[in-house]
Structure 1
Amino acid sequence: MITLYRWNSSANAGQWTNSPDLPDRCGIPEGEIWWIDLESPTPEEDARILEHVLALHPLTVEDITKPRREPGDGLHFPKVEEFADYLFVIVNPLGEPQAPDEPLSEITAGGTQLSAVLNRHLLVTHHYRPLASVKRVREFLDRHAQQAQRGPDYLFHLILDGMVDDYAPEIDRLVERLDEIETELFDQPSAHVLSELIRLKRRLVMFRKTLILEREVLARLIRGEFELVDDREMAYYRNVYDHLVRYAELTEGAREMVSDLMQTHLAAVSNKLNGIMKAMAMVSTVILPMSLVSGIYGMNFKHMPELEWEWGYPMALGMMAALAVGFVGLFYWKKWL
C-alpha cells in the first residue's frame, strides 16, 4: 500500500492520499514536503515508486527489496549511505509490539526492515510489516500538521525515536522473565529452564548486534557528516542516540545476566546431583554391613554354631538393625543428614 502525505507551506496544511497519482519522475512543487510510505507493497508498487518515480540507484533498490527476494533471514543490517541526490538509511525495528500478557515471541530483534530515502523535500519509508513507530508519526501529523514543514529529516527523526523507544518494553519484559527464571532455578532447575535461557540468550545477542549497528548509524547522522540532516535537527538525533546507547547497555547487562543464570543452572543441577549421589552413598553404607552379616550366615558350612542355636535368627536380625542404627547415628553426628 502506498500512502502519501503532502505538506503545503502556502496553505499551511497537510493532507493524506492513499493512492497517490504520482508522475513517472517525482517533481515536488515548490513549498511542499512529501512523505511517501510503502507498507507491504507489491512488486509493482515497489517498481513504480523506487525505479520510475524516484529513479533510485540499483544497489539501493536491491537493498530495500532484499526481504522479499530472500524470505526468512533476508534482512539487511542497519547502515547509512549518501548518494548524489539522496540519503539512504536502513534500520531494523521490532514491528508491532506484543500485548503485555502474551508470552515472549520467537521473533528476534530486528524482526523487520525499515528502509528510508530522504532529500530536501521528500521522505520515503519502505517496510513489509506494520510498524508502530510509523503509525504514531501518522497520528502525530494528524494532530500537528505544521510540524511537517520542518522537513523530511525531522519526520525521519520522529520515526527513529519511536522505533528506538519500542525496544524499552521488550527489554523490560526480557529482564522480568530473567528475574522469574532466577527464582525458578533455586526452586526447581530443569532442562526446560536451560532451553529457555538459551533461547533468551540468542535473542539478546541479536538485540545487542542490532542496537550496536543502529548506534553506528545514529553516530554518523549526529556528526554533521550529511548535508541532508539539518543542523537544528542534530539535537533531536542526539537524543535518539542517547536512548539507543542506554538500551544497548541494558541489553548487554541482560546478556551477562543470562550467562550468569546459565552458570547458576549448571551449578544447581550439579549440586542437586551431588545430593542424590550423597543419599545413595549413605544408603549403600547402611546396607553394606547388613549385607555382610546376612552373607556370613548365608554360607552353607555344616559346622556353624549359630545354625542350631534357638536365638540365632533374632541375633542376626538384631546385629543388622544395630549396625543400621549405628551408621545412621554416625551420619547425624557428622551432620551429613
Structure 2
Amino acid sequence: MINAYHSHGSVTVLTAEENPPALAEDIVWLDLVDPTPEEDRHVEQLLGIEIPTRAELKDFEPSSRLYIEKNAVFMTASLVWKADSEAPEITDIAFILTAGKLVTVRYADPKSFKLFTAELCRKPAEAPWVGKMLLARLLETIADRTAEILESAVVHIDELSKEVFRPRSTRRPPQFLENKLADIAAHHRLISKVRDSLGSLSRMLTFLLNVPQIHHHPEIEDLCKTVAHDIATLSEHAGFVSSNIGFLLDASLGLISVEQNAIIKIFSIASVVFLPPTLVASIYGMNFEHMPELSWTIGYPLALFAMVLSAVIPFFFFRWKGWL
C-alpha cells in the first residue's frame, strides 16, 4: 500500500494501476507499507530512485544502511515493534529524502507511525510541510514512543522487583521465584531490542546531521540535534534499566538457591538428629548372646530413653549454634 501525504495533512492512497506521469507537487511523504514489487517499481518510476527491498533492509552493513545516491539520502533504522505484546520484535524501516519529499518503506506497523500519522492528519501545520521537516518530526515521535516503552518497562520491573523481594511467608509456594524468571527474561528481551533500536537511531541521526540538505534549514537541524540528544539520554537510561534487570535476575537466582539450601539443610539436620537413635537401635538389635542389657527389666525403656536423648541433644545443640 502507498499512502501519499499532502503538505497540508490530507492523505490519499496511490495504486500501482494508476500511472500518473509525475507526483502531485503538494505530496511530501510517500509511506510504503508492506509494498508489492509492482508498487516498488511504480514509486521508482515516479521518483527516479531505487526502492530497497525487504532483503536489502535487513543488511547490517553500515555502508548499505546509510548512504547518498543521486542526490537522494538513504537511511535504514531498526525500530521496536509489538512492544506491548509478549513477543516484541525489531523491524527495519527505510527513510529516503529525495526531491524535497520523504519516502518510508516498512514491512511492519510500529505504534510510532500510527501516532505520527494521526497527529499529522488531526493537526496539520499552519505552514506547508516539507519532507525534511516531516522526517525530523517523525524521528521525534519515534523517540517519544521509545521513551514511553522504557517508562512502561520501568514500572513493570519495579512491580516485579517488589514481588521478588516479598517476605518468604507471603510468597505463593513452591515455584514462585521460578515463575518470575520468565517475566524477567521477557523484560530483558524487550530492553535489549530497545537498546538495539536506539543504537540504530543514533547512527542514523549522526549521519543525517552531516547531510548538506539539513544544514540549509537551521530549524530542522536544531530539531534533529534535540532528537539526537534525546536518543543519547534514552540509551543511557536503557543501559541503567538493563543493569537493574541483571541485578533482579541475579537476586532471583540467589533467592532460589537460598530456598533450596534451606530445604537441603532441613533434610541434613533431620538425618543428623535421627542418626544417633538409629545407632542405638542398631546396637540393641544385634543378636549376640552376651548382651547384659537384654536381660534387664528396665532394658527396653532404657534403650528408648537413650534413643530419645541422643536425638534431643543434637537438636538443642543446633538451636544453640543458630543453625535452626
**What TM-score do you get using the length of structure 1 for normalisation?**
0.81
Unaligned ranges ≥5, structure 2 = none
CA shift digits 1:184-227 (9 cap, x unpaired): 434466433334433433332232122112112112323x4332
Amino acid at match of 2:299: G
Supply the distance in 1 between the matched residues of 2:9 and 2:293 (Cα, whole angstroms): 111
Selected match of 1:107 from 85, 88, 97: 88
Q: Following TM superposition, by how much is the alpha carbon of 1:253 offset from its aligned partner in structure 2, in angstroms?
A: 0.9
Question: Aligned match of 1:94 in 67, 80, 100?
Answer: 80
Residue 164 (structure 1) aligned with residue 158 (structure 2): no
Q: 1:10-44 deviations in whole A, cap 9, x for unaligned? A: xxx564322365535x4654xx4522111222221
Provide the residue aligned with 1:55 in structure 2.
Answer: 48
Check whether the contact 1:28–1:121 (CA below 8 A) recurs between aligned residues: no
**1:280-303, CA deviations, whole angstroms, 9 ceiling, x for partnerless residues?**
221122111111111111111112
Instruction: Give yes or no for contact 1:82–1:226 (8 Å, CA) kept in 2.
Output: no
Q: How much is the aligned-residue C-alpha RMSD, in angstroms? A: 2.7
Shift of 1:234: 1.0
Match of 2:33 in 1: 39
8 Å contact from structure 1 (residues 77, 90) kept in 2: no
| CA separation of 1:76 and 1:44: change in aligned 2, threshold 3 A | farther
- Equivalent position amino acid for 2:322 in 1: K
Partner SS, residue 17 of structure 1: strand
1:173 is aligned to 152
**Which one is further off, 231-240 or 313-322?**
231-240
CA distance in 1, matches of 2:200, 2:107: 21
Quote how far apart the aligned CAs of 1:251 are: 1.2
Could you tell which deviates more after superposition, 235-244 or 273-282? 273-282
How far apart, in 2, do the equivalents of 1:334 and 1:275 lie?
16
Paired residue type of 2:188: K
Partner Cα distance (1:314, 1:67) in 2? 88
Aligned residues: 311
CA offset at residue 312 of structure 1?
0.9
Structure 1 distance, partners of 2:56, 2:183, is: 28
In structure 2, the residue corresponding to 1:113 is in which secondary structure? Answer: strand
- Residue 150 of structure 1: how far off its partner (Å): 4.3
Q: What residue in structure 2 maps to residue 269 of structure 1?
A: 256
For residues 213 and 127 of structure 1, the distance between their equivalents in structure 2, rounded to whole angstroms, comes to 15
Q: Percent identity?
A: 27
Indicate the SS of the match to 1:166: helix
* 2:78/2:196 contact within 8 Å kept: no
**1:106 is aligned with what amino acid?**
A
Out of 95, 98, 103, the residue aligned to residue 119 of structure 1 is: 98
- Given that 1:39 and 1:127 are in contact with CA atoms closer than 8 Å, whether structure 2 keeps it comes out as yes
Aligned to 1:10: none
Amino acid at match of 1:158: R
Among residues 34, 42, 54, which one is paired with 1:65 in the alignment? 54
**2: distance between equivalents of 1:183 and 1:75?**
41
Distance 2:153 2:133 in 1: 31
Amino acid at match of 2:78: N
